[in-house]
Amino acid sequence: MYCAPFNCEPENSRTPNSCWNTAHCVDETSDFNSATAFAQVADYKGDPHTTQYVSKFEPSNAKHANEQLELELVKQPDGKGFGAVVTGTRAIQYGTVTAVMRSGSTAGGVVSSFIIRNDKVGDEIDFEFVGNDKTAVQSNYYWHNDLDYTKMVRSPQLTDTTHEYHAYQIQWTPEQIVWAVDGKTFRTVRRADTWDPKDKVFKFPDAEAYVSFSIWDGGAGAKGTADWAGGKVNWAAAPFKFAIKNVSTNCYFKGNETTYVPPADAKK
């Protein structure tokens, strides 16, 4: 579980080689109508052939229910919400990822996210939903944890994202990132346009990363985050459930599957 590359920290592990090898991208569709597409992290033995997505935390507020994957934000004794994070078991460096899903952000303060991120480097491409804006989704990207929120772009108006399922797509290539909803592109960022003349670098996400989905309490964050998320969560509006029906991945680089060998105990 915590030896998995999306959780493991070699510098904090018992031995430097405690972390399992990274499983690389393959073209696949994860249909959450089937319970086998998702597993709790404690049950994952390191073989991505058996499970495409796993919960990242324990206790887990993610589960297979109603023929879909559901992530729930739950109120804690301190009044704050504890949500869920589900991550893919394979890393991707460029490709197209499409998720058919319904936001769980039915009240202000609740944030639902679909992200491609490398936690160690800080590169990220995302879709995020906030409870005070149910008829749109927000898009953004970050390079090396340079959290420039001014680059956020809101989608055109959609039907209620908390009631209707839409297909959200990120197309990521070495040249550009494209965000689309239901097959309609609403934003394109070209690598050539991310050049920083001061730092002399293209600030464009390029690190191999993991696809993840999460629901979290933005209203409990710092003032700027809470304001963006829509204020404190109104728990009378619960439950808050982020639902994902399926995720399709089409890799930019092909043929990496043969380089991965699961841990010796992966199928035990």
Residue 158 and residue 28: Cα distance in Å, rounded? 27
| Residue 128 annotated in active site | yes
| Residues near 87 by beta carbon (within 8 Å), at least 6 away in sequence | 6, 53, 54, 56, 210, 211, 212
Paired tokens of 172: 């990521």
38-39 vs 53-55, strand pairing mode: parallel
Q: Which residue in the list 70, 72, 124, 208 is annotated as catalytic?
A: 124
Task: Tell me phi and psi for residue 127, to 5 degrees.
Answer: -120, 135
- Per annotation, catalytic residue among 9, 11, 67, 128: 128
143 SS3 class: strand
Q: Where are the beta strands (DSSP E) in the chain?
A: 28-31, 38-39, 53-55, 62-65, 68-75, 81-82, 84-92, 95-102, 110-118, 123-130, 138-142, 153-154, 166-172, 176-181, 184-190, 195-196, 201-202, 209-217, 240-251
Quick check: is 124 catalytic?
yes
3-state secondary structure (DSSP) of residue 35? helix
Active site residues: 124, 128
